[in-house]
Amino acid sequence: MYAEWTHGFVHLIRYGSAFLFLLVFVPRLIFHQARGDLAERIVGRFQMMTLLLIGLGYALVAIKLFELLAIIPAFILIALAQGAWRNRRNKRSMKQEEANDEQQVRSYIPKVYDYLERKYNPWPEIKASVMERISEATVAWRSRLRHLPTMVEAAIVLFVFAAAAYIRFADALTHAAPAMSDSYVTLAWIKYVNQRILFHDGIYPQGFHIFMGYLVKFSFLDPLYILKYTGPLDSMLTMAGMYFAVSRWAGSRTAGTVAAAVFCFLSGIIGWSDVERQAATNAQEFAFVFVFPTLYFIHRWLRDRVRWALSAGVAGMVAAGLVHTLAYAYCGGDSCRLRCRRRADRARRDRFRSRCCRGRARDVEVRRLRLAAFTACYMALAIGLACLLPWVKLPRLLAAIEARRSTEAPVADVHTEIALLDRIARCKFFVIRNNCLKKSLLFYYYLLQTGVTGVAIHLGVDKRGGKLAGHCWLTLNGQVFQDTEQFVSNYKVIYTSGE
């Protein structure tokens, strides 16, 4: 009988239905506040629901009420209490939702009467809605199929998990005896819990045996079948938790797939527990299911300060502690390491920021000193030019300036220093104010000193009202520099020097 796969599959379907009811359907009714994406919500609810089952199981076994007639009303009361607490917090939003629902219901009532009077046909709207959803699903699947790397990656993940399921469930589906001798001790403790007896053989965490007691009651199977299927399922859940955490830490599904494949195929080769140990039904293997998801949620809380991640992480850590102390030590120790690592990273980041701030402040101070020295030097130069012009002919002065032309590349802040020179030239107390010749000579000297090419100085005259007026200006690459084209065009050039 056990050699037939059909016999094992029937019991496996009943087992899986009970598992999905307890850890997927019921958590959706109780834990509405779960956040994150789909995978995070499923894993977070699984950890919180497992903790709730274990805590409720301890209480019901202690008061001798660990039966379906007590468990189901307890679920209903917890769901109602959770819903009342949530409605109390979101009273305003709930009122708005109720008003919207009432308005929507009222809009449907005339349509119902029109349908009964044969004035309204709902089938075209229903058909259009169904076709719209089908088209949206078709477009979504086509877009997924177009991404070949994503499909290949999904196929590899599916292959790894399918191979792991075959390796671990094959013995449970074809042989009656459970894996390893420890399973018989576990079977005895499951029966003690079903008889509402705690700590029959001494003080030991009973969370795993209480969890399997729930599966016995909701699947209506013999405890032997629950014992045979829980071990392989625990190994699969551990591998799924490893894939879940590693893929998100690394930001790549490939990394999660490699980690899951190493755990599936190479764990016995590299010194970890072999497949027989992984498929055995023990409290230690069930507690390891929570290690990687718990560390992921703790890391997520330390990084983003998300409250629901902290709730899921603490729930997983407490559930692991109520199942096996070794897994609890792993969760607690690694959580402390994550906390210390986070503090060290924060301190390192603060030191880096302080160094950057000090460096920026030092750069600003150096720039200020440089501009101050620049201003002093060119103020002295302007005074020198004002003193030399009455005594030195202009061509000779321009030749001396052009002889000091620089061949290096222009500095980056030429425009900033030109603006500073222009502000200096406009000061009321300065000697070159309202004198275009002195100002142009100062700019001409500066541009040649900084290596700017294409600079020329021009002198022009214009006759205004019988009087002769003169002007001096610069051009840079043929364009008027620090002056206006309209004003300069009134003057006739009589002298030019430079490029």
Looking at every residue in the chain, the average pLDDT score rounds to: 79
Residue 307 has pLDDT above 70, yes or no: yes
Residue 309 has pLDDT above 70, yes or no: yes
- pLDDT the model gives residue 481: 84
Tell me phi and psi for residue 411, to 5 degrees: -70, 160
- pLDDT the model gives residue 225: 84
Residue 208 has pLDDT above 70, yes or no: yes
Residue 1 has pLDDT above 70, yes or no: no
- pLDDT the model gives residue 195: 87
- pLDDT the model gives residue 181: 66
- pLDDT the model gives residue 468: 84
pLDDT in tens, 75-133: 888 888 877 776 666 655 555 555 555 666 566 667 766 766 777 777 788 788 888 88
CA–CA dist 138, 497 (Å, integer): 76
Count of beta carbons in the 10 Å neighbourhood of residue 497:
17
- pLDDT the model gives residue 372: 67
- Rounded mean pLDDT of 321-332? 84
Give the confidence band of 51 by pLDDT, cuts at 50, 70, 90. Answer: very high
Give the confidence band of 430 by pLDDT, cuts at 50, 70, 90. Answer: low
- pLDDT the model gives residue 53: 92
- pLDDT the model gives residue 489: 84
- Rounded mean pLDDT of 464-470? 81
Percent of the chain scoring above 70 in pLDDT: 77
pLDDT in tens, 228-261: 888 888 888 989 999 999 988 888 888 888 888 8
Residue 314 has pLDDT above 80, yes or no: yes
Give the confidence band of 144 by pLDDT, cuts at 50, 70, 90. Answer: low
- pLDDT the model gives residue 131: 85
pLDDT in tens, 366-424: 666 666 666 677 667 766 776 777 777 888 888 887 877 777 766 656 677 777 777 77
Q: What is the pTM of this model?
A: 0.60
- pLDDT the model gives residue 108: 63
Q: Minimum mean pLDDT among 342-346, 428-432, 447-451, 457-461: which range?
A: 428-432
- pLDDT the model gives residue 363: 61
- pLDDT the model gives residue 54: 92
- Rounded mean pLDDT of 310-320? 89
pLDDT in tens, 261-272: 888 777 655 445
